[in-house]
Amino acid sequence: MSLRELLRPPPHRGPVIAAGGVSLAVGVALTVLRLQDTLPIGVDAALLLLPGALLLWLGAQAPNEQGEPPAYQSVLLCTGLPLVYGGLLVALGGALDELPPAWVLVVVSVVVAGLALWPAFARNSAISLLIAALLGGVAIEAVAGETFARWLLLAYAAALVLAALALRLPARRHAEVLIDAAGIAIAWLAVASGDELPAFFEVVVLGAGLGLVAFGALDRSPGPAYLGVINLILFIVAAARGETLFIWPLILLAGGLLMLGAGLRPRRPLPPEPDPYRAGEAPLAARVEPQHDRRG
């Protein structure tokens, strides 16, 4: 048996392998954190990279079930990719107790995002696509300044939404996770701004919250709906600095009352149903006998 065949999880053992992978990942993380002052940086990086690469390979090699990734495959991918990401950060950053330089974050985020795109499309793994999209946002946040990052994150979120629209028919689950990533990007934009969120971005956060809730309700997708609620809470926190009803409270109160009124307005009664046809009164089209084919 070849090494590739050995590292291809059989479906009936997939849950056991995934459970072992999660236990291994937690153990590795604890080992590195407890012994970070004792072990060399190279050993720390290897302890993260080697199990991470193994779990990522197992997840990427696992066969789909009826075109969909089984649950154990998603678990393996979600466990392996963070270990690889952490190992590369340690290897290039050179420290565990300090934030790595911006260029390290950018390089590692782009590399691991590229790795995540492989199972995202080769194995139809939506969770891998979500990880790749989130790492793209991390790279943007690391490379841009505080003010410019807002605009880049906004543009990135818009690009994710457009990509989701393109994938909506061929890959519905992939489209949903891209919407999730866009919602997370807008939420992070609000969180990173703190108490200094400009009025334009307040509109962005509000619109994202309402749009995500509507998307989640229409598509019955809990993820976008939850993110929509989070964005709306962040908007409330950012817009609650004023002490009057001017602008936002008035707009939202008026808009809510108008929509409630439109939905609850008196309904016109429907026209009565037509009387049923009596015997011999069927329409002409219903009484014409079909012409039989006389050929042959």
In order along the chain (296 residues), what is the average pLDDT of each group of 10 residues?
61 85 94 89 93 91 82 92 94 82 92 94 92 94 79 94 91 93 93 83 92 90 92 90 74 84 77 68 57 51
Give the C-alpha separation, 74 to 95, whole Å: 30
Last residue of a domain, one of 143, 169, 195: 143
Mark whether 51 and 122 lie in a shared domain.
Answer: yes
Mark whether 252 and 213 lie in a shared domain.
Answer: yes
pLDDT at 296: 46
3-state secondary structure the chain: CCHHHHCCCCHHHHHHHHHHHHHHHHHHHHHHHHCCCCCCHHHHHHHHHHHHHHHHHHHHHCCCECCECCHHHHHHHHHHHHHHHHHHHHHHHCCCCCCCCHHHHHHHHHHHHHHHHHHHHHCCCHHHHHHHHHHHHHHHHHHCCHHHHHHHHHHHHHHHHHHHHHHCCCCHHHHHHHHHHHHHHHHHHHHHHCCCCCHHHHHHHHHHHHHHHHHHHHHCCHHHHHHHHHHHHHHHHHHCCCCCCCCHHHHHHHHHHHHHHHHHCCCCCCCCCCCCCCCCCCCHHHHCCCCCCCCC
Mark whether 80 and 207 lie in a shared domain.
Answer: no
Would you say residue 67 lies in a domain? Answer: yes
pLDDT at 9: 67
Mark whether 94 and 167 lie in a shared domain.
Answer: no
Mark whether 139 and 2 lie in a shared domain.
Answer: yes
CA nearest neighbour of 54 among 74, 81, 32, 29: 81
Give the C-alpha separation, 160 to 44, whole Å: 35
Mark whether 138 and 38 lie in a shared domain.
Answer: yes
Last residue of a domain, one of 143, 168, 190: 143
Would you say residue 34 lies in a domain? Answer: yes
- State the total domains in the chain: 2
Whether the CA torsion 108, 109, 112, 114 is positive or negative: it is negative
Would you say residue 80 lies in a domain? Answer: yes
Q: How far is CA 40 from the centre of its chain?
A: 36
Last residue of a domain, one of 113, 143, 173: 143
Q: How far is CA 230 from the centre of its chain?
A: 14
Give the C-alpha separation, 251 to 242, whole Å: 14
Mark whether 136 and 117 lie in a shared domain.
Answer: yes
Mark whether 124 and 199 lie in a shared domain.
Answer: no
Mark whether 68 and 51 lie in a shared domain.
Answer: yes
pLDDT at 187: 94
Contact 212, 225 (CB under 8 A): yes
Mark whether 107 and 160 lie in a shared domain.
Answer: no
| 157: containing domain | 146-261
Would you say residue 291 lies in a domain? Answer: no
Mark whether 98 and 233 lie in a shared domain.
Answer: no
Mark whether 182 and 222 lie in a shared domain.
Answer: yes
